[in-house]
Amino acid sequence: MKKMYLIFLVLTLLGFNSCGFFEKKIDNMTKDIKEKVLKEVGVDKEKREQLIKTGKEAKGVIQKVEDTQETFNQNPKIKMTVKVKPENEEEFDAVILMYVSRVSIPRVGDKVKVYYDPNNKTDIIVY
């Protein structure tokens, strides 16, 4: 009886699979998981795209890098202080929290490109 049930189950799963049933479920699940993970690690894709599109671009120099003791996929979350130097405006300091590759951690003195909202200079991303 158990063999018949297992054979039926396997054939049923293969039938669903040939219709793309499981691939669609996995794709949807993967998309949902990716969105949740990105939000969890502080990456809001829409916000990032909006800042790149409508924000101001500026050069920056990293002044300070601190480890927050958080990681995601073995990549550390850092707290970075950047001296932002916009054209025709006064420079300002910005504090940015972000996950970085553990093999490519930014260093003091590194030059970066940033995008920021001129009406809210705390709304800033490193590009």
Asked if 60 and 125 count as a contact pair (C-beta separation under 8 A), the reply is no
pLDDT at 106: 93
Q: Where are the alpha helices (DSSP H) in 19-125?
A: 21-40, 45-54
Predicted model pTM: 0.65
pLDDT tens for the chain, residues 1 to 127: 555 544 444 444 444 444 444 444 445 545 555 565 555 555 567 788 888 899 999 999 999 999 999 988 888 989 999 999 999 999 999 999 888 888 889 999 999 999 999 999 988 988 8
Instruction: Locate 62 and state its tokens.
Output: 């990293």
pLDDT at 79: 94
pLDDT at 24: 47
What lies within 8 Å, CB to CB, of 30 at 6+ separation is none
The total of other beta-carbon atoms located within 10 Å of residue 108's CB is: 11
| Helix, strand, coil content of the chain in percent (nearest 5) | 35, 40, 25
pLDDT at 12: 47
